[in-house]
Amino acid sequence: MRIALVVEYDGTGFAGWQWQLAQRTVQGELEAALSRVADRPVRVVCSGRTDAGVHALGQVVHFDTEVSRKTHAFMMGTNAWLPADIRVTKALEMGADFHARTSAIARHYRYEILNRSMASALGPRQQTLCPKPLDVAAMQAAAECLIGEHDFSSFRAQGCQSKSPIRFLHFIRIQREGERVLIDVGANAFLHHMVRNIVGSLLAVGTGKERPEWLADVLAARDRRLAGVTAPADGLYFAAVLYPECFGFERAPIFDLLPADARRFMPSAPHEFSVSVSLSTNSR
């Protein structure tokens, strides 16, 4: 059987998604719980790795098992062994043609900013505090240059392992909800620290440090040194993944912002996944 799980977690207490020796990771905790349910070792593949401190609302993983269990039993049994800061919210039985990473058409990240002078007592590690007033209209105007296919070298981490800096950013939406500023970003794939580096640059615009036109110059320069600082991990959420309808996943409303011909990531590097699919046909 191939099983897909939708997983949410509070990234505060983890050294990131990926398993690391002598470190508490989301992958490590999830595989340990699944292995107890299956009574044998289980390894999972995720739709996108997250860094230390980054949260997830809709991470998707898959694993293969010879153990016959109903999907509900896998979900409830795994949750029984998981710590309180990780939860499996859905389990689906999949065909062998499904892959959590390479089947994905698009990924959605949300960055949440608390725009006031004092941090929150309720969730200080689930938001990023910005005490200076933010000009959301200026931030949105600056962000428009990022939409489309670009070389995002100016917004990738120095240690990024991707062979290609080319990504297709489908949408970036910046909204204010009272004291919160929400930045929603959707792309076919992301580079390491790409969202946090974009947000750091947008904060420079929102606080008046830089003009909106500056961001286009940063993008064109393909030089990380010219962009803003890397925004903290606290406010970042891996929010959702979009798959072709044939796989049976619920479609998050945010993906209505995608163009009808949105396609999977098509990397130039041979080791990176490469499959094309159109949203309009939902072919595999």
SS3 content of the chain, % helix, strand, coil (to 5): 25, 25, 50
Question: Residue 197 carries which side chain, given as an amino acid letter?
Answer: N
Give me the residues paired with residue 90 across strands: 6
Three-state SS for 129-151 is ECCCCCCHHHHHHHHHHHCEEEE
Assess whether 151 carries a catalytic annotation: no
What distance, in Å, lies between the first and last C-alpha atoms of the chain? 20
User: Choosing from 10, 39, 51, 217, which is the catalytic residue?
Assistant: 51
- Read off the DSSP letter of residue 168: E
**What is the CA 62 to chain-centroid distance, rounded?**
16
Contact call for residues 198 and 89 (beta carbons, < 8 A): no
Question: Residue 252 carries which side chain, given as an amino acid letter?
Answer: A
- Read off the DSSP letter of residue 9: E
- Tokens found for residue 118: 């004092």
Q: How far apart are CA 123 and CA 125, in angstroms?
A: 5
Count of alpha carbons within 13 Å of 31, Cβ hemisphere only?
Answer: 17
What's phi and psi for 260, nearest 5 deg?
-65, -25
**Length, in residues, of the chain:** 284
**What is the CA 282 to chain-centroid distance, rounded?**
22
Question: Residue 220 carries which side chain, given as an amino acid letter?
Answer: A
Name the one residue in this structure whose structure tokens are 């990380």. 224
Active-site amino acid positions = 51
